[in-house]
Amino acid sequence: MVNKDFFLALNQLEAEGKIDKQLTLQALEGAIAQAYKKEFGEGRNITVQINEDRFLIRVIAYKTVVDEVENPENQISLEDAQKIKPSYKVGDIIGDEISPKDFSRIVAQSAKQVFTQRITDENKRRALEDMSQKEGEIVTALIRRIDSGAIHLEVSGMQMEAVMLPGDQCKNETYAVGMTIKVYVKSVGTGTRGTRVLVSRSHKDFVKRLFELEVPEIKAGLVKIRKIVREAGYRTKLAVYSDEPGVDAVGACIGQKGIRINSVVQELHGEKIDVIGWCADQALFIARSLSPAQVNMVKVNEEDKTAIAIVPDEKLSLAIGKQGQNVRLAAKLTDWKIDVKPMSAAAELIGEED
């Protein structure tokens, strides 16, 4: 069968990057073969030949020449074969081209359905493969619907739906259908219900990726993030350092006049971010971790990894934070149990030590 328009359409779609022509032709071959076998017998030996240069699609059914026919679908008697061509002998393979008129409407419809399904399945497979490479990265997505608290999004540039569960949403943010937002791809996989892409805005690595986008020194490896702790929507603390002489890790993350960190804070809708310079001196690192509070002194107990931080009396509530959030995050960042005390209690503590 000749279908010039079909091939020209394929070429156009491939040029536009919408399909893989070879993949489409392979799917078409399989669809025609499957539909023909369904109509005329699963045991039939057939091939589908596609000639792009001549715009031809040929369907060939094969039979083997035998003395006695046991399987009419794949065999032909020597007598009947020689009526076609006298030189045929037992063991020869005879190919018979099937005319399009031999395809019933049911066969044609079946071929179309199989072809469409194979293309759909392959597109899904490729989309999943592409999406898997985005795992652990930030993508842009459009909110399509909100169902029982779960947000369903369409990932930009991909035929793929993602889901942001309630636990992956930030409490200080409001979401609405039609909004375009950035999300962190937590996981991509397949299960009994098909492909499942989970995304998040509350994940601590969402903040990490945002800083990588804003701070070239992090992307280049000049500044490294030691650890991030986060209570999404409220506060994040990240410890950074650099092995490169002359590189100010904290300054690089903040940027001139705070432009870099402000970009991240804006994306996080005002979430507070403390950028802390990591150091091997545990007492100093603990003092820094309590930022934005000023710390006068830190006493550490190496055996049980506990520390007492002394702060000015008027800074006590700032060091502890609302509902203990600041000191709680500092403890997670340093892996030390931290007890914050006011300066007025310092003399008593020192006296106990003596």
Query: By the 8 A CB rule, do 184 and 162 touch?
Result: no
When pLDDT is averaged across residues 125-138 and rounded to a whole number, the result is 84
Q: At what angle do helices 204-214 and 259-267 cross, to 10 degrees?
A: 140
When pLDDT is averaged across residues 134-147 and rounded to a whole number, the result is 94
What is the spatial distance between Cα 100 and Cα 59, in angstroms, rounded to a whole number? Answer: 9
Closest by CA position to 346, among listed 291, 298, 281, 314: 298
Letter string b/e over residues 95-125, b meaning 16 or more CB atoms within 10 A of that residue's CB:
eeebeeeebeeebeebbeebbeebbeebeee
More confident residue, 159 or 236: 236
What is the spatial distance between Cα 281 and Cα 238, in angstroms, rounded to a whole number? Answer: 17
Structural domains for the chain: 4-131 (3.30.1480.10), 135-198 (2.40.50.140), 203-278 (3.30.300.20), 280-354 (3.30.300.20)
Residue 292, SS3 per DSSP: coil
Query: By the 8 A CB rule, do 240 and 275 touch?
Result: yes
* pTM score, whole prediction: 0.70
* Whole-number pLDDT of residue 347: 65
Other beta carbons within 10 Å of 326: 26
* Whole-number pLDDT of residue 256: 95
Band (pLDDT 50/70/90 cuts) for residue 130 is confident
* Whole-number pLDDT of residue 106: 52
Closest by CA position to 250, among listed 283, 273, 282: 273
When pLDDT is averaged across residues 112-124 and rounded to a whole number, the result is 69
Task: For 135-187, give the DSSP string.
Answer: TTSEEEEEEEEEETTEEEEEETTSS-EEEE-GGGS-TT----TT-EEEEEEEE
Task: For 48-94, give the DSSP string.
Answer: EEEETTTTEEEEEEEEEEESS-S-TTTEEEHHHHHHH-TT--TT-EE
Task: Say whether the peptide bond before residue 292 is cis (omega within 30 degrees of 0).
Answer: yes
Apex CA 311: angle with CA 307 and CA 312, to 5°? Answer: 165
Lowest mean pLDDT among 18-22, 26-30, 83-87, 130-134: 18-22
Helix, strand, coil tally for the chain in percent (to 5): 40, 30, 30
Query: By the 8 A CB rule, do 22 and 33 touch?
Result: no
Closest by CA position to 36, among listed 97, 88, 110: 110
When pLDDT is averaged across residues 212-231 and rounded to a whole number, the result is 96
When pLDDT is averaged across residues 118-123 and rounded to a whole number, the result is 70
- 199-219 residue pLDDT tens: 999 999 999 999 999 999 999
Dihedral of alpha carbons 145, 173, 138, 15, sign: positive
Query: By the 8 A CB rule, do 269 and 182 touch?
Result: no
| Structure tokens that stand for 82 in this block | 């020689």
Closest by CA position to 31, among listed 44, 48, 19, 45: 48
Band (pLDDT 50/70/90 cuts) for residue 13 is low
- Give residue for tokens 């169902």: 147
Task: For 295-329, give the DSSP string.
Answer: --EEEEETTTTEEEEEE-GGGHHHHH-GGGHHHHH
